[in-house]
């Protein structure tokens, strides 16, 4: 264990959040600080490579595609594979939109949600990352979010019931929202926190055990 960090209270970490909030950056910074036996998984990169390999997506298009380009069976296989890793392995940092949802009810997992309270900053980050116009970034982000939410809400309705409604974590009347802050252990606004401050908040949380849900 990294002697500067001391003993960690969690075996795995998930990082979730929509486009432009800094999840990929946080994954990279955490890997740099944690021991070499910690592994990282970037869900966006993995799915993008698969989609290009299958001819489902133009790899020359820098904008990240939505989950609508591939089938539900493969989507579920990847997502449930993440949950299985969290249940049976340790020292994983899993970064994807749904990794935190897939960790619901799994012990020893620190579930991190990144948000950005400034929509303009999120859009600017995507513009700079993908080299597109502001209008292109804004339209793509909105469409991708809606397509993902609609697909995953249909796919994981039963899991939402089993993991969150049945234990009393959310009300049956609440709409499905995979990124509602109260189902995460740590929520960080990357508009007000720098990349390094965000990393340090997560490292601090890794050392402080809280009740698992």
- Three-state secondary structure readout of 140-209: HHHHHHHHHHHHHHHHCHHHHHHHHHCCCCCCCCCCCCCCCHHHCCEEEECCCCCHHHHHHHHHHHHCCC
The whole-number pLDDT of residue 35 equals 87
pTM for the full predicted model: 0.86
- Of 24 and 56, which is predicted with more confidence? 24
> What domains can you pick out in the chain, each with its CATH number?
12-191 (3.40.50.300)
Residue range 90-147, pLDDT digits in tens: 999 999 999 999 999 999 999 999 999 999 999 999 899 888 899 988 888 899 899 9
Asked if residues 130 and 20 have their Cβ atoms less than 8 Å apart, the reply is: no
**Phi–psi pair at 171, nearest 5 degrees:** -85, 145
Contacts of 194 (CB under 8 A, 6+ apart): none
- 71 has pLDDT over 80: no
pLDDT over threshold 90, residue 78? no
């Amino acid at each position: 264990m990294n002697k500067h960090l001391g003993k960690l209270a969690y075996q795995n970490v998930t990082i979730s959040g929509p486009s432009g909030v800094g999840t990929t950056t946080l994954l990279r910074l955490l890997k740099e600080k944690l021991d070499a036996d910690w592994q990282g998984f970037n869900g966006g990169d993995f799915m993008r490579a698969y989609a290009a390999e299958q001819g489902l997506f133009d790899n020359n298009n820098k904008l990240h595609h939505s989950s609508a380009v591939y089938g539900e069976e493969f989507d579920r296989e990847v997502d449930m594979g993440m949950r299985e890793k969290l249940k049976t392995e340790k020292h994983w940092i899993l970064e994807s939109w749904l990794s935190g949802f897939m960790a619901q009810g799994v012990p020893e997992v620190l579930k991190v949600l990144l948000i950005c309270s400034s929509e303009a900053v999120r859009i600017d980050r995507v513009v700079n990352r993908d080299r597109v116009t502001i209008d292109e970034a804004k339209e793509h982000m909105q469409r991708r979010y809606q397509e993902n939410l609609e697909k995953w809400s249909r796919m994981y309705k039963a899991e939402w019931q089993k993991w969150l409604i049945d234990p009393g974590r959310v009300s049956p009347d609440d709409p499905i929202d995979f990124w509602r802050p109260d189902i995460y252990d740590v929520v960080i606004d990357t508009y007000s926190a720098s990349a390094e401050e965000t990393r340090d908040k997560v490292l601090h949380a890794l050392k402080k055990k809280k009740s698992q849900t």
